[in-house]
Amino acid sequence: MKAIIEIASNADMHRRAVAAARSLATGKVETADFRIGFESAAQVFAELTAERLRTLETLRREGAQSIYALAKALGRNYSNVHGDVQRLMALGLVERDGEKVFAPFDELEIHVPLGARAA
């Protein structure tokens, strides 16, 4: 399963969520991919900093672990890693299983259009 990050208005994301709910209700789910939308590319990269992406990569490569163990693996301060993990959890990109956190996605796609979008 992959996470798809894209530039989309709140209205676009709402329309997609409603369509996905209808598909789920009828049993016609087309994809199990997780989608998250941001209003701008600047917002995407403000949220998905280099350190947060490295955190996701480390969790994916090394598996579920405590935040303390993750901080050691990353060579970073515990409180900074804790804050990043909390934000990644709020975005839905990291999940918790007891005392351990993990990245549930095999792949992360970021779609950034370079020009005017079609209405």
Rounded Cα–Cα distance for residues 22 and 16 (Å): 10
Instruction: Specify the pLDDT at position 107.
Output: 94
Q: Residue 1: its pLDDT value, please?
A: 84
User: Cβ–Cβ contacts within 10 Å for residue 45, how many?
Assistant: 14
Q: What is the pLDDT of residue 20?
A: 62
DSSP for the chain, please give it. -EEEEEE--HHHHHHHHHHHHHHHHHT------EEEEES-HHHHHHHS-HHHHHHHHHHHHH-SB-HHHHHHHHT--HHHHHHHHHHHHHHTS-EEETTEEE---SEEEEE---SPPP-
Q: What string of pLDDT tens digits covers the 119 residues of the chain?
A: 899 999 987 677 657 666 666 766 777 766 568 889 999 999 999 999 999 999 999 999 999 999 999 999 999 999 999 999 999 999 999 999 999 999 999 999 999 888 755 44
Whole-model pTM: value is: 0.79
Q: What is the pLDDT of residue 114?
A: 83
Give pLDDT, residue 31. 59
Domains of the chain (ranges plus CATH)?
2-111 (1.10.10.10)
